[in-house]
């Protein structure tokens, strides 16, 4: 089965399980890019989003989108491929002004949408082939718009990220239910940077965010990029380009890696 078809099936089952539990995650007080409270920056990395159109990629139950609307005055479109995940968001937040939930493939949706002022994905973009998602995001964002991505860096087994663009099996873990296999593009930071540059973005920072418990081996990577003017490409070696923030080095005790659990994906 193709990787993205595997993921579509997994998130359909996951959403159905959460609907059966009638579980709705609370609206957070702060936008978080990792499963761990207080680790890493908040919504400020998106810039001033008040009154701006923001795309939430893989919006799941919709709680992050609602936070941006209520706390920061954004106008958010949450795009979600899974019908059951979309149902969770609509059933809980359909009455919230300023947020719209759309059930669709993000690349197909962006092909016909007005360009957005900003976009973000909390743990979700790694479930889509970057050769399909990144050109769609380039065309679906206004020049200069930020793109913020929280991505898996390694996995629970200590396997480091790939240095080639290929998916590998990762499990969505759920309490009291069998794990769900997915296919994820778990890529090294430099490879993500190369891909973003190839598709018309400038990478401004890549941070590695380790688990707050030093005995754990979980790390997320947070990538801050910006859409360049159409047709322009920029290399990190380009002397005219601003210097990119260096990668944040995790502590030695956390040098191995991250989880592909449902919490790490951002889709609570």
Q: pLDDT of 15-42, one tens digit each?
A: 999 999 999 999 999 999 998 888 899 9
The Cα 17–Cα 177 span in angstroms is 9
Bridge partners of 189?
A: none
8 Å CB contact between 19 and 185: no
Provide the residue count of the chain.
Answer: 268
pLDDT of residue 173: 82
In whole angstroms, how far apart are CA 164 and each of 27, 153, 160? 37, 14, 12
pLDDT of residue 235: 54
Q: How many CA atoms lie within 13 A of 45 on its CB side?
A: 25
pLDDT of residue 234: 61
Name the pairing type of β-strands 53-57 and 118-122: parallel
Give me the chain's average pLDDT, please: 87
- The distance from CA 82 to its chain's CA centroid, rounded to whole angstroms, is 15
pLDDT per residue over 104-141, tens digit each? Answer: 999 999 999 999 999 999 999 999 999 999 999 999 99
Task: Give the residue-averaged pLDDT of 36-64.
Answer: 96
**Straight-line distance from the first to the last Cα atom of the chain, in angstroms, rounded to the nearest whole number:** 25
Percent of the chain residues past pLDDT 90, beyond the cut: 74
8 Å CB contact between 151 and 224: no
Task: Give the residue-averaged pLDDT of 158-177.
Answer: 88
pTM above 0.75, yes or no: yes
- The distance from CA 116 to its chain's CA centroid, rounded to whole angstroms, is 16
SS3 state of residue 132: helix
Task: Give the residue-averaged pLDDT of 187-200.
Answer: 97
Name the pairing type of β-strands 201-210 and 219-227: antiparallel
| φ, ψ of residue 87 in degrees (nearest 5) | -60, -40
pLDDT of residue 78: 98
Task: Give the residue-averaged pLDDT of 80-99.
Answer: 97
Bridge partners of 223?
A: 149, 206
Is pLDDT of 254 > 90? no
pLDDT of residue 177: 87
Alpha-helical runs (H) found in 22-160: 63-72, 83-93, 106-110, 130-140
- The b/e string for 104-114 (b: 16+ C-beta within 10 A; e otherwise) is ebbbebbeebe
The Cα 186–Cα 78 span in angstroms is 23
């Amino acid at each position: 089965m193709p990787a993205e078809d595997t993921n579509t099936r997994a998130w359909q089952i996951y959403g159905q399980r959460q609907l059966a539990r009638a579980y709705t995650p609370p609206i957070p007080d702060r936008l978080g890019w990792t499963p761990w409270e207080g680790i890493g920056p908040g919504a400020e990395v998106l810039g001033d989003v008040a009154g701006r159109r923001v795309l939430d990629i893989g919006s799941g139950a919709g709680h992050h989108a609602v936070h941006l609307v209520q706390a920061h005055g954004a106008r958010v479109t949450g795009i979600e491929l899974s019908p059951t995940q979309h149902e969770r968001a609509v059933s809980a937040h359909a009455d919230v002004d300023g947020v719209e939930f759309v059930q669709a493939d993000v690349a197909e949706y962006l092909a016909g949408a007005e360009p957005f002022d900003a976009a973000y994905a909390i743990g979700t973009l790694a479930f889509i082939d970057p050769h399909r998602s990144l050109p769609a995001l380039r065309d679906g964002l206004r020049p200069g718009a930020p793109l913020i991505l929280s991505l898996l860096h390694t996995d629970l087994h200590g396997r480091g990220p790939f240095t080639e663009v290929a998916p590998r099996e990762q499990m969505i873990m759920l309490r009291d239910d069998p794990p769900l296999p997915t296919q994820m593009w778990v890529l090294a930071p430099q490879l993500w940077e190369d891909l973003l540059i190839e598709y018309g973005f400038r990478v401004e920072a890549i941070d590695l965010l380790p688990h707050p418990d030093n005995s754990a081996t979980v790390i997320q990577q947070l990538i801050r990029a910006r859409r360049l003017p159409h047709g322009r490409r920029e290399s990190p070696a380009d002397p005219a380009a601003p210097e990119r923030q260096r990668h944040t080095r995790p502590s030695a005790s956390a040098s191995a890696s991250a989880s592909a659990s449902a919490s790490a994906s951002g889709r609570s």
